[in-house]
Amino acid sequence: MTTTPIRNLPAVLDTGRTLLEPALRAAISSHLGPEMRRIARYHFGWADADGRPTGNWGGKMIRAILALLSARAAGATAADGLPAAVAVELVHNFSLLHDDIMDGDETRRGRGTAWTVFGVPDAILAGDALLTAAASVLLSAPGAGARSATLALMTATQRMIDGQATDTEFEQREDMTLAECVRMAGDKTGALLGSACALGADLVGGERHLVERLGAFGEHVGLAFQLVDDLLGIWGDPAHTGKQVGADLRVRKKSLPVVAALTSPGADELRALYLSSEPLAESDIRVVAELVERAGARDWARNEAGRQIAAAQECLVSVDIPDDVRGELQEVAGFIVGRRL
Amino acid sequence: MTTTPIRNLPAVLDTGRTLLEPALRAAISSHLGPEMRRIARYHFGWADADGRPTGNWGGKMIRAILALLSARAAGATAADGLPAAVAVELVHNFSLLHDDIMDGDETRRGRGTAWTVFGVPDAILAGDALLTAAASVLLSAPGAGARSATLALMTATQRMIDGQATDTEFEQREDMTLAECVRMAGDKTGALLGSACALGADLVGGERHLVERLGAFGEHVGLAFQLVDDLLGIWGDPAHTGKQVGADLRVRKKSLPVVAALTSPGADELRALYLSSEPLAESDIRVVAELVERAGARDWARNEAGRQIAAAQECLVSVDIPDDVRGELQEVAGFIVGRRL
């Protein structure tokens, strides 16, 4: 997920963070070796490159918050869900460390990415260390659910890894279908978000049906987020997205609305423009956006996001969840999907 | 570990491989996504870059063989230990994929390394996928020992990661002690070998004392291997090592014998030569080798390797292990340590 300045954070995000910060710090201290701790503390924003404390706290920890809510959904306390929350946050940050290397991104949260500060080898190792620690944290948790939860988290991680690779591959291909792209987005973005929503309940021994419904809720939210993010990458207001108009088009990103248009009948003009290797002029970008819209792909993406949100809501209907927790899950989901609409 | 042509393989290596190959292939098929399977199959030597079967089999799978013996040491069958063997082999190959990127190595087992064929991003992801699959394979194994074994494997992996980072850091530093270097070698090489020796027994529910002794056996073997490898990197016969005389000295590697010499009294001449940034002439390399030997570091390394081998043997004395298994563990350890002496 990309990040943007946060406004009007749901209250649950703040209360969750007071639990999460010390737990995440403790996990880094006890599960990482001394070399890797340095890099992790920099990456999380707690320390500068020389290890001096910054007093800051990086990231919104949305996935960790969802894991805490997941434990409460199963009738346990947020504290019971902490190992799940910490583990999913570690997996998310493992993926950020490696993605920044793979994409060559030089800044994150207003600072140099880890590989620009510590070099590629140490940044690769730091990602490896966070992934390894994620499994260790969950397996060290008390309770019978630890094994099942860890296996579920690893399965989601595997989907995320394959989704990332497929995304890169699609950028080189011209013949992928819309269904393939939706599946890829589900793997890349939906899998870990779904895992976050299921993991707390799984860890505290929640019923299978509840764990599955919570996971499906998170997957739908993840896909809705991706669709909204893709819409904003084409038609978003630069004042809110922090990106240029048509930012995704400029780099010829094969986002979901674009693929919906490319694979629709009569897309010859769009394909000729978008799949060529000539640089796109600013006027071309406007033409592409129009062609994508005229193909009905903007409406498709909006409708599909709406369907995913409705499907997510539906997942919480037939399950026994405390009302306040259901409300907070919906609030966080709304924040994820709607924050920049 | 570095690899060299194999002669006189212990029979247990061959019999183990007939069990291991299908199990490892099945793990790749069921735990990796389709994109990552392609790269893993290439890396293991089973397929070429286009996915066509090669009919080959890459690697000696020493660690996996040790994990099978570990299960038998606890009175179970080799087949019972297969998930442990597959998991430890996956972790080893995760580290090879990432190490090849970090070191810029372009060939492995006579073929291009994965990053040279599939690019750095996909090779990073493939390493991530193997590490993730290692945890999944172990957690999917039947039996109560799966949780404990997975946690132990992750702890060893964390040590290996930190050892790798510390090794890189030491190459930039001049003030590390010999004890620090021995600890680093234990993390980088000993931890996973120790884990391999303990993991099978752990998985099948072996007694804590046995699991610990087997782990200590493997750690000592790992350190002995490292010392022997370091000796060969300075004084090895190129006809057997496949490297130039003084290969490690040429790249100013801070191997254990070198650090033993650098940190001994009266090492001024050696420090001046070895810690400068001037290129080392061939005559300098001979002088450095002589200075290291004259400092007593060659004898120290030989004696230390002997002590580690004796300590490894000692670990198997006071524990209840079937005699044939004890013999095979010693045979494999001898192969690891002595193959090029």
**Confidence at B340, pLDDT banded by 50, 70, 90:** very low
- The residue assigned the tokens 């419904």 is A213
Could you give the angle at the alpha carbon of B325 between the alpha carbons of B319 and B326, nearest 5°?
Answer: 50
Q: Is A273 on the interface with B (CB under 8 A)?
A: no
pTM comes to: 0.94
**Confidence at A4, pLDDT banded by 50, 70, 90:** very low
Tokens representing residue B240 in the block: 């057997």
φ and ψ at A140, to 5 degrees?
A: -85, -5
Q: Is B169 on the interface with A (CB under 8 A)?
A: yes
pLDDT of residue A180 exceeding 90: yes
Q: A1: helix, coil or strand?
A: coil
CA A275, CA A266: separation in Å to the nearest integer? 15
Q: Is B144 on the interface with A (CB under 8 A)?
A: no
Q: A134: helix, coil or strand?
A: helix
Average pLDDT of the segment spanning A82-88 = 98
> How close A151 gets to chain B, by Cα (Å)?
6
CA B173, CA B192: separation in Å to the nearest integer? 25
Contact (CB, 8 A) for A38 and B165: no
Tell me, what's the pLDDT at B6? 43
CA A294, CA B28: separation in Å to the nearest integer? 44
Beta-carbon separation of A121 and B131 below 8 A: no
Nearest Cα neighbor of A181 from A321, A15, A297, A53 is A297
> How close A284 gets to chain B, by Cα (Å)?
30
CA A140, CA A260: separation in Å to the nearest integer? 45
Beta-carbon separation of B150 and A150 below 8 A: yes
Tell me, what's the pLDDT at B58? 67
Tell me, what's the pLDDT at A341? 31
The fraction of chain B above a pLDDT of 70, given in percent, is 96
Tell me, what's the pLDDT at B5? 41
Contact (CB, 8 A) for A138 and A150: yes
Q: Is B125 on the interface with A (CB under 8 A)?
A: yes
- Look at B12 and B131; give whichever has higher pLDDT: B131
Sign of the torsion formed by the C-alpha atoms of A296, A301, A305 and A310 = positive
pLDDT digits (tens, 9 = 90+) for B20-31: 999 999 999 999
pLDDT digits (tens, 9 = 90+) for B229-274: 999 999 988 887 777 778 899 989 999 999 999 999 989 999 999 9
Contact (CB, 8 A) for B125 and A169: no
Average pLDDT of the segment spanning A61-79 = 96
Contact (CB, 8 A) for A48 and A56: no
DSSP H or E stretch at residue A215: helix A208-235
**Confidence at A280, pLDDT banded by 50, 70, 90:** confident
pLDDT of residue A243 exceeding 60: yes
Q: Which residue of B has its CA nearest to A130?
A: B158
Q: Which residues touch A3 (CB under 8 Å, ≥6 apart)? A: A59, A60, A109
Q: Is A100 on the interface with B (CB under 8 A)?
A: no
Domain count, chain B: 1
DSSP assignments along A290-333, one per residue: HHHHHTTHHHHHHHHHHHHHHHHHHHTTSS---HHHHHHHHHHH
Contact (CB, 8 A) for A132 and B121: no
Q: Which residue of B has its CA nearest to A127?
A: B128
SS3 for chain B, per residue?
CCCCCCCCCCHHHHHHHHHHHHHHHHHHHHHCCHHHHHHHHHHCCCECCCCCECCCCCCCCHHHHHHHHHHHHCCCCCHHHHHHHHHHHHHHHHHHHHHHHHHCCCEECCEECHHHHHCHHHHHHHHHHHHHHHHHHHHCCCCCCHHHHHHHHHHHHHHHHHHHHHHHHHHHCCCCCHHHHHHHHHHHHHHHHHHHHHHHHHHCCCCHHHHHHHHHHHHHHHHHHHHHHHHHHHHCCHHHHCCCCCHHHHCCCCCHHHHHHHCCCCCHHHHHHHCCCCCCCHHHHHHHHHHHHHCCHHHHHHHHHHHHHHHHHHHCCCCCCCHHHHHHHHHHHHHHHHCCC
DSSP H or E stretch at residue A338: helix A323-338
In a domain, A225, yes or no: yes
Size of interface A-B (CB pairs under 8 A): 136
Contact (CB, 8 A) for B124 and A101: yes
> How close A227 gets to chain B, by Cα (Å)?
23
φ and ψ at A263, to 5 degrees?
A: -100, 10
pLDDT of residue B206 exceeding 80: yes
User: Across the interface, which of B120, B128, B139 has its CB nearest the CB of A151?
Assistant: B139
Beta-carbon separation of A132 and B164 below 8 A: no
CA B103, CA A53: separation in Å to the nearest integer? 31
Q: Which residues touch B239 (CB under 8 Å, ≥6 apart)? A: none
pLDDT of residue A331 exceeding 60: yes
> How close A314 gets to chain B, by Cα (Å)?
29
pLDDT of residue A245 exceeding 60: yes
Contact (CB, 8 A) for A298 and A257: yes
Average pLDDT of the segment spanning B198-221 = 98
Tell me, what's the pLDDT at A301? 97
Tell me, what's the pLDDT at A149? 98
Q: A275: helix, coil or strand?
A: coil
Q: Give strand pairing partners of A108.
A: A111
CA B35, CA A105: separation in Å to the nearest integer? 23
User: In chain A, what residues touch B180 (CB-CB under 8 Å)?
Assistant: none
> How close B88 gets to chain A, by Cα (Å)?
14
Q: Is A125 on the interface with B (CB under 8 A)?
A: yes
- State the CATH number of the domain containing residue A314: 1.10.600.10
Q: Is A128 on the interface with B (CB under 8 A)?
A: yes
ipTM of the complex: 0.94
User: In chain A, what residues touch B154 (CB-CB under 8 Å)?
Assistant: 132-133, 135-136, 139
Give the Cβ contact number of residue B291 at 10 Å: 20
Contact (CB, 8 A) for A89 and A61: yes
In a domain, B1, yes or no: no
In a domain, B169, yes or no: yes
Sign of the torsion formed by the C-alpha atoms of A84, A89, A95 and A101 = negative
The fraction of chain B above a pLDDT of 90, given in percent, is 82
User: In chain A, what residues touch B122 (CB-CB under 8 Å)?
Assistant: 165, 168
Q: Is A132 on the interface with B (CB under 8 A)?
A: yes
Beta-carbon separation of A146 and B150 below 8 A: no
Alpha-carbon Rg of chain A, whole angstroms? 20
Tokens representing residue A334 in the block: 């709304």
- Look at A198 and B143; give whichever has higher pLDDT: A198
Q: A105: helix, coil or strand?
A: coil
In a domain, A3, yes or no: no
Q: Give strand pairing partners of B111.
A: B108
Q: Which residue of B has its CA nearest to A115?
A: B102
In a domain, B2, yes or no: no
In a domain, A38, yes or no: yes
Beta-carbon separation of A129 and B162 below 8 A: yes
Tell me, what's the pLDDT at B143? 78
Q: A77: helix, coil or strand?
A: coil
pLDDT of residue A237 exceeding 90: no
Could you give the angle at the alpha carbon of B215 between the alpha carbons of B211 and B217, nearest 5°?
Answer: 120
Contact (CB, 8 A) for B129 and B32: yes
Task: Mutation target for A interface from B35, B91, B115, B122: give the one with most A CBs within 10 A.
Answer: B35
> How close B65 gets to chain A, by Cα (Å)?
23
In a domain, B185, yes or no: yes
Tell me, what's the pLDDT at B278? 82
Q: Give strand pairing partners of A112.
A: A107
User: In chain A, what residues touch B161 (CB-CB under 8 Å)?
Assistant: 33, 36, 125, 128-129, 132
Q: Which residue of B has its CA nearest to A32?
A: B158
**Confidence at A8, pLDDT banded by 50, 70, 90:** low
Q: A206: helix, coil or strand?
A: coil
Q: Is A155 on the interface with B (CB under 8 A)?
A: yes
- What is chain A's mean pLDDT, rounded? 92
- Look at B318 and A97; give whichever has higher pLDDT: A97
In a domain, B3, yes or no: no
- Look at A180 and A240; give whichever has higher pLDDT: A180
With residues binned 3-state (H G I as helix, E B as strand, rest as coil), the percentages for chain A, rounded to 5, are 70, 0, 25
pLDDT of residue A1 exceeding 50: no
The fraction of chain A above a pLDDT of 90, given in percent, is 82
> How close A12 gets to chain B, by Cα (Å)?
31
Contact (CB, 8 A) for A222 and A193: yes
pLDDT of residue B277 exceeding 90: no
In one letter, which amino acid is A303? Answer: N
Tell me, what's the pLDDT at A17? 81
Alpha-carbon Rg of chain B, whole angstroms? 20
Q: A151: helix, coil or strand?
A: helix
The fraction of chain A above a pLDDT of 70, given in percent, is 96
Q: Which residue of B has its CA nearest to A152?
A: B136
- Domain interval for residue B313: 9-338
DSSP type of residue A51: S
**Confidence at B95, pLDDT banded by 50, 70, 90:** very high
Beta-carbon separation of B125 and A164 below 8 A: yes
User: In chain B, what residues touch A165 (CB-CB under 8 Å)?
Assistant: 33, 35-36, 121-122, 125
